[in-house]
Structure 1
């Protein structure tokens, strides 16, 4: 196996924005990135300071979501231009990483 330089991308959303499905389909069908994972948070807050949380008694429909993917640095730069049309500034984080490939 060898290593390849990649860029990790993390997009912070909430369920209430109703963007998750649209972004996953965009990244799969149009942008064709290597893969996408969406994490559903049990609690979180953003710049507004409003706490979004859930418990067994209270099931919130506005929990935090984190959409994450990686690809080559060049591909990520192309995809970011599209993502920035959907996501508010400050809600996309990018960092360098390495992936093992065959």
Structure 2
């Protein structure tokens, strides 16, 4: 699979406790991205954050319900990312989605000579 040099970065900000169809939302998004043949997805867990509600989410030991922030990053061609957005919209009830143009320098293993 090749990604064009000029691509889009889809960044999705959600909470660890967010669900879709009884499963964690982040898992559902990554599996749907894979099913949609996107180049790849990475889930990053943040130790602290807040969103629209301004409620602080943290890893502090005394908190019972952490609901830590998660960021899912997906890079692919503009066409493939744009085709995935309606699917993503149907999965999310809250959160933040951003897009930015990126330049892909390498994808996969470099060819050896």
Q: TM-score, normalised by structure 2?
A: 0.78
Q: Is the 8 A contact 2:9 2:102 kept in 1?
A: yes
Q: Shift of the alpha carbon at 1:91? A: 1.0
**Which of these residues, 9, 23, 28, is aligned with residue 22 of structure 1?**
28
2:21 corresponds to which residue?
A: none
Alignment coverage as a number of residue pairs: 99
2:73 corresponds to which residue?
A: 68
- After superposition, the CA RMSD in angstroms is 1.9
Structure 1 unmatched ranges of 5 or more: none
Q: TM-score, normalised by structure 1?
A: 0.86
Q: Is the 8 A contact 1:54 1:60 kept in 2?
A: no
**Which of these residues, 55, 58, 67, is aligned with residue 53 of structure 1?**
58
Task: Report 1 or 2 for greater relative contact order, CA contacts < 8 Å, sequence distance ≥ 6.
Answer: 1
Higher Cα radius of gyration: 2
Give the Cα separation in 2 of the matches to 1:16 and 1:89: 12
**Which of these residues, 80, 85, 93, is aligned with residue 85 of structure 2?**
80
Q: Shift of the alpha carbon at 1:16? A: 1.0
Structure 2 unmatched ranges of 5 or more: 19-23
Name which of structure 1's ranges 70-79 and 85-94 shifts more when overlaid on structure 2: 85-94
> Structure 1: which 4+ aligned runs deviate by more than 6 Å?
none
